[in-house]
Structure 1
Amino acid sequence: MTCKSSILRIESFYSTYLDNKRDIYVYLPPGYSYEKSKRYPVLYMHDGQNIFHPAFNGYSWHVDQTVDRLIHEHKIEEIIVVGIPNMGMERSNEYTHDLEGVLYPLDKVTIQPKGQLYEKFIIEEVMIYVDSVFRTKTGPEHTALLGSSRGGQVTYHIGLRRPDIFGMLAIVSPYFYCVDPMSSEEIRLYHSFTTKQPLSRIWIDLGSAEGTLVLEKHTRAVTEELVALGYEADTQLIYFNDPGAAHAEKDWAARLSSPLIYFFGSKGEASSISLIGCEEVGIMGPTSRLNPILEFGDDFKMTLLRAAYHVEDQEIMDVLENGTLVPKKEGVTSVTVKYEDLEAMIEIRVISQQKEYVTLDMVVHVPPDSPADMKLYAWFPLLHDSSSGTYYNRLQVPLHAEFIYQISRQDGIVEADSAGESVQHKYVALEDATVEIYVEHWMRNEASKN
Structure 2
Amino acid sequence: MKHSSSILRIENFHSGYLDNKRELFVYLPPGYHHDKSKRYPVLYMHDGQNIFHPAFNGYSWNVHVAVDQLIADQIIEEIIVVGIPNMGQERADEFTHDMEGILHQADKVPIRPRGERYEQFIIDEVKPYIDAVFRTKTEPEHTALMGSSRGGQVTYHIGLRRPDVFSMLGIVSPYFYCVDPTTQEEVPMYHSFAVKQPIAKIWMDLGSSEGLLVMEKHVREVAEKLLNLGYEADDELVYLYEPEAAHVEKDWAARVAAPLIHFFGNKGKACSLTLHGSEEIGIVGPQCRLNPIVEFDTGFKLSLLRTAYQVEDERIAEVRDDGTIIPLQEGETKVTVQYDDLEAAITIRVIAEIKAHITLDIVVHVPPNTPEDIKLYAWFPLNYNPSNRTYSNRLQIPLHTEWVFQVSREDGIVEVDAAGNTVERRYKALVDSKLEIYVERWS
Aligned equivalent of 2:304: 304
Aligned equivalent of 1:21: 21
Structure 2 distance, partners of 1:422, 1:268, is 39
Offset at residue 92 of structure 1 (A): 0.2
Structure 2 distance, partners of 1:226, 1:196, is 8
Deviation readout 1:22-68 (Å, 9 max, x if unpaired):
01111000000010000000000000011111122322111111100
Structure 1 distance, partners of 2:83, 2:15, is 15
Change in Cα spacing, 1:397 to 1:129, as seen in structure 2 (3 Å) is same
Aligned equivalent of 1:116: 116
Aligned equivalent of 1:87: 87
Structure 2 distance, partners of 1:40, 1:20, is 29
Aligned equivalent of 2:66: 66
Aligned equivalent of 2:138: 138
Structure 1 distance, partners of 2:56, 2:348, is 44
Deviation readout 1:156-178 (Å, 9 max, x if unpaired):
00000000100000000000000
Structure 2 distance, partners of 1:203, 1:298, is 17
> SS at 2:263's partner residue?
helix
Deviation readout 1:242-262 (Å, 9 max, x if unpaired):
000000000000000000001
Aligned partner of 2:385: which letter? Answer: D
Structure 1 gaps of 5+ residues are 444-450
Structure 2 distance, partners of 1:83, 1:426, is 31
Paired residues of 2:75 and 2:298 also in contact (CA < 8 A): no
Aligned partner of 1:338: which letter? Answer: Q
Aligned equivalent of 2:333: 333
Deviation readout 1:173-230 (Å, 9 max, x if unpaired):
0000000111110011000000000000000000000000000000000000000000
Structure 2 distance, partners of 1:394, 1:56, is 30
Offset at residue 298 of structure 1 (A): 5.1
What's the TM-score, normalizing by structure 1?
0.98
Aligned partner of 1:217: which letter? Answer: K
Aligned equivalent of 2:411: 411
Aligned partner of 2:62: which letter? Answer: H
Structure 2 distance, partners of 1:116, 1:402, is 34
Residue 122 of structure 2 is aligned to residue 125 of structure 1: no
Aligned equivalent of 1:284: 284
- Equivalent positions of 1:250-265 (< 5 A) are 250-265=250-265
Offset at residue 384 of structure 1 (A): 1.0
Aligned equivalent of 1:342: 342
Aligned equivalent of 1:395: 395
Structure 2 distance, partners of 1:306, 1:366, is 48
Residue 246 of structure 2 is aligned to residue 246 of structure 1: yes
Paired residues of 2:376 and 2:409 also in contact (CA < 8 A): yes
> SS at 2:227's partner residue?
helix
Structure 2 distance, partners of 1:254, 1:100, is 34
Deviation readout 1:340-388 (Å, 9 max, x if unpaired):
2111010111010111111000111111111122111011111111111
Residue 193 of structure 2 is aligned to residue 193 of structure 1: yes
Paired residues of 2:45 and 2:82 also in contact (CA < 8 A): yes
Aligned equivalent of 1:147: 147
Provide the aligned C-alpha RMSD in A.
0.7
Aligned equivalent of 2:378: 378
Paired residues of 1:211 and 1:402 also in contact (CA < 8 A): yes
Structure 2 gaps of 5+ residues are none
What's the TM-score, normalizing by structure 2?
0.99
Structure 1 vs Structure 2: percent identity of aligned residues? 65
Aligned partner of 1:71: which letter? Answer: I
Aligned partner of 1:327: which letter? Answer: P
Structure 1 distance, partners of 2:404, 2:208, is 10
My pick for the range that moved more, 202-211 or 379-388, is: 379-388
> SS at 2:393's partner residue?
strand
Structure 2 distance, partners of 1:245, 1:33, is 37
Paired residues of 1:308 and 1:339 also in contact (CA < 8 A): no
Deviation readout 1:91-128 (Å, 9 max, x if unpaired):
00000000000000110100000000000000000000
Instruction: State the number of aligned residues.
Output: 443
- Stretches of 4+ moved more than 3 A in 1? none
- Equivalent positions of 1:3-18 (< 5 A) are 3-18=3-18
Offset at residue 307 of structure 1 (A): 1.1
Aligned equivalent of 1:442: 442
Paired residues of 1:406 and 1:425 also in contact (CA < 8 A): yes
Aligned equivalent of 1:234: 234
Offset at residue 308 of structure 1 (A): 1.4
- Equivalent positions of 1:141-220 (< 5 A) are 141-220=141-220
Aligned partner of 2:187: which letter? Answer: I
Aligned partner of 2:86: which letter? Answer: N
Structure 1 distance, partners of 2:368, 2:62, is 39
> SS at 2:27's partner residue?
strand
